Amino acid sequence: MSATQEPGLRALAEKYPDFPKSIILKLDLQRRGIEFTEATAHATSQPYYRGPEQTAFSGKDTTRQPLPGPILLRDGTSVLASPVPNQFVDPYTIDYVDGKFYAFDKGERIDEVDFAPRPEFYGKSTSRGVPMDSIAWSRPQRLDIYPYRYCHYWDTRDQCKFCAFFTDLKKQKQLAGDSYAKIVHPEDIYETVREALKEPGRYSQINLTAGTDYSGEVPFENEVDRYIEVLQAIGRNFGSRRFPSQLIAPAYTRQQVKRLYDETGLSSYCPDIEVWDKELFKWICPGKEKWFGRDYWIRSAVEAVEIFGKGNVYTNFVAGVEFARPHGFTSIEQALDSNFEACEYFAKNGVIYLSLVWTPWKGTGLAGQKQPPLEYYVRLVRGLVEIRKHYGLASDNDDFKHCGNHGDSDLERLT
């Protein structure tokens, strides 16, 4: 099916009148990407919006620019999308007109949008002199912290095939910029969180993730120790035993997961399966296959429910990468069946299987590949929500205001 034959936002909104148009827009903003006009770039570099400068990789092109927080749609839905130059074939344009931002599609004004504003801790430094905006980043209601900025899957060329965090081994440290340490000191994290919490109502969740480090006497033990140290440092900021938080991390053993729960205030754990199909998992996630395979990742997520409780364990998948050539699915129905099977399996075991839209970033092994049509994503997220609803699950941790990546959890506002 050619791009011109695929129904777009307007056609799908008419075809699925019981599906919110804003969620279709979100899915398409993430699928097709965005670009800023000069007016938008200027407006978002002003003090209310201005974020830290970020490095954007796009093939051989590397640019640094201050970027605002995630996009906010009128209904409060947050959208994680970056205007990476020369990356997208057919992006939406975000323009700034008469003091407001709008999403445009080929000149047609689609809707008003906004951006999450700059948090008050940006621009401040820890007592050790580390810029706080190099320690934590702000989503609309979530504080993101990457305690370890290196993924060792890349050491052996076993990185996930869709991964765009690093373009090659030499550039890995550029994830956070040359001035930032690979390992973030827990005291810097403690102080940054302490400062961020001074802003009333700004955050309702803390999220940790990092590059994978499988080292240790028991594999992943060093990483688990590091997360425990960081979570304990964060926890000193709270008066409650647990605090709303999520760790997106590799699959750990039951003992390692139990340590994370028992020794910290962590409330949610998310080992990402990335792609459900057994053969595609091997091909797309060779590092995860090596450490220690799909069955281990699935078992880890399911066993974690016994520790964190039903609905507090998640696993994300990169929706669309299951079509990647040359081994991916060739039919929409095949891909939907696979993902619904996964969602059903995880849901009956108390795990939430969440989708996020695949972008075939330049600089990854899947660059230039075609994404599935927008309608696939509409059918997918609706089906996922129906399955989870049947099992009494809804995604509080990764909902519309916390993550910005999941059209399916956005839909759960009515469940």
Q: Which residues bind another protein (CB under 8 A)?
A: 17-18, 20-22, 48, 72, 74-76, 78, 114, 116-117, 140-141, 200-202, 399, 401, 413-414
Min dist. Cβ of residue 108 to another protein (A): 19
Task: Reply yes or no: is the peptide bond before residue 131 cis, omega within 30 of 0.
Answer: no
* Closest to 321 in 3D by CA, of 283, 268, 350, 348: 283
Host H or E run for residue 35? strand 34-36
Name the nearest CA neighbour of 103 among 10, 13, 95. 95
- Report in angstroms how near the CB of residue 101 gets to another protein at its nearest: 12
Closer CB to another protein, 74 or 390, in the complex: 74
Q: How far apart are alpha carbons 271 and 250 in whole angstroms?
A: 5
Taking the complex as a whole, how short is the minimal distance between the CB of residue 401 and another protein, in angstroms? 5
Phi/psi at 408 (nearest 5 deg)? -70, -45
Measured from the CB atom, is 60 or 414 closer to another protein? Answer: 414
- Residue 142 or 294: the one with the smaller Cβ distance to another protein is 142
**With contact defined as beta carbons under 8 Å apart, do 403 and 78 qualify?**
yes
Report the alpha-carbon distance of residue 105 to residue 111 in Å, rounded: 10
Q: Report the residue number, 154 or 377, with the smaller CB distance to another protein.
A: 377
Least separation in angstroms between residue 152's CB and another protein is: 35
What tokens does 215 get? 């080292």
Cβ 68 to another protein, closest distance in Å? 11
Q: Of the two residues 20 and 131, which places its CB atom closer to another protein in the complex? A: 20
In this complex, which beta carbon is closest to another protein, that of residue 312 or of residue 338?
Answer: 312
Report in angstroms the alpha-carbon separations of 60 from 43, 158, 169, 202, 396: 27, 22, 14, 37, 39
Shortest Cβ 48–another protein spacing (Å): 8
